[in-house]
Amino acid sequence: RSITKHVKDQNWFAVFLDFIIVVVGVFIGIQVANWNDERKDRIEEKMFLERLYQESQALLEVNSEELKKIESSTNHLAKALTVLFSDQETRDLSAQECAAVIRSHVYPKAYDQLPILEELLGTGDLKLITNQSIKNELRAYITFRDRLRSSHDERINELYRLHSLYPDLMITIKQTKIDEASFKFKHLNFGTNFSCETKLMRANQKFMNELFDNVARKNSMVADFKKQDELLNNIISQLSEVIK
C-alpha cells in the first residue's frame, strides 16, 4: 500500500526506499531461516558423529576379542602344518594342534554393522557430515564391508570338514557312560578326545590338499579381520579429533 501511494504521488525516492526495505527484509528472513536450518544440521551432525564414535569403538572391541581367539587357533594350526608338511619324520601332533586341524574349516563371520551408518545411508543424511576426511573413511569402510560379506560367502562354500571326510585319520568325540534308567537328553554328555594319526595324514594327499585349502581360507579370514580393525581405527582416529 505504501508503494502504491508513493507511485500515485510520483514520489520515486520513497518508492525506491520502500523497495529496498522489502528486499532487505526478505533477504534477512531467508538468511535467518538458513542459519536456523544450518544450526539444526550441525546439532544433528554432532549427534551422528558421537554415536558413530561409540559404535565404532564397541565394534572394534568385539572384533578384536574375536580376532585374539582366531589367532590362537591359527597359531596352533601353523605349528601343525610344520609337522604335516615336513619332508622329514617328526613328532605327533599335540591335542591343541590336532584340534586346530579338525576345526580348520571353521570361519567365524566378522561383525560389521554400525547401526548409525546404516541409518545415515538409509535416510540420505550422510551428507550432513561435513568433515571430508571422516566421509572418506566411512566410504572406505562401506566398500570393505560389502566385499567382506561377499568374501565370507565364498569362504564357507564347499567346506572341507576333515573330521567327517576322514574319520580314520582323527578321533574327535568320546561319549561318556549313560545311565539308561535315568536318561534324559540334557544328561547326554560328550567329551572331546582329539587324536590325529599324523603318519596317515601325511600319506593321504587328498587330505593334505583339502587341509591346505582350509588353511588358505583361514588366512584370508584373519587378513579380513585385521583389515576391518584397521579401518575402524581410522574412523575412530578421525572422529576423536572432531568430537573431543
C-alpha–C-alpha distance, residues 233 and 191, integer Å:
40
Amino acid identity for residue 4 in this structure: T
C-alpha–C-alpha distance, residues 55 and 17, integer Å:
57
Express each pLDDT in 92-134 by its tens digit. 999 899 999 999 999 998 899 999 999 988 898 888 888 999 9
The backbone region for 113, taken as left when phi is positive above 0, alpha when psi lies in -120 to 50, beta otherwise, is: beta
C-alpha–C-alpha distance, residues 185 and 227, integer Å:
43
Say which residue, 176 or 161, is predicted with more confidence. 161
CA Rg value for the chain:
33
Q: What is the sign, positive or negative, of the torsion defined by CA atoms of 62, 155, 162, 174?
A: positive
Is 0.85 surpassed by the pTM of this model? no
- What distance lies between CA 158 and its chain's CA centroid? 23
Express each pLDDT in 125-141 by its tens digit. 888 888 999 999 999 99
C-alpha–C-alpha distance, residues 242 and 221, integer Å:
32
Q: Where are the alpha helices (DSSP H) in the chain?
A: 2-8, 12-84, 95-102, 115-123, 132-155, 162-165, 198-203, 205-243
Q: Answer for the pair 208, 85: CB distance below 8 angstroms, yes or no.
A: yes
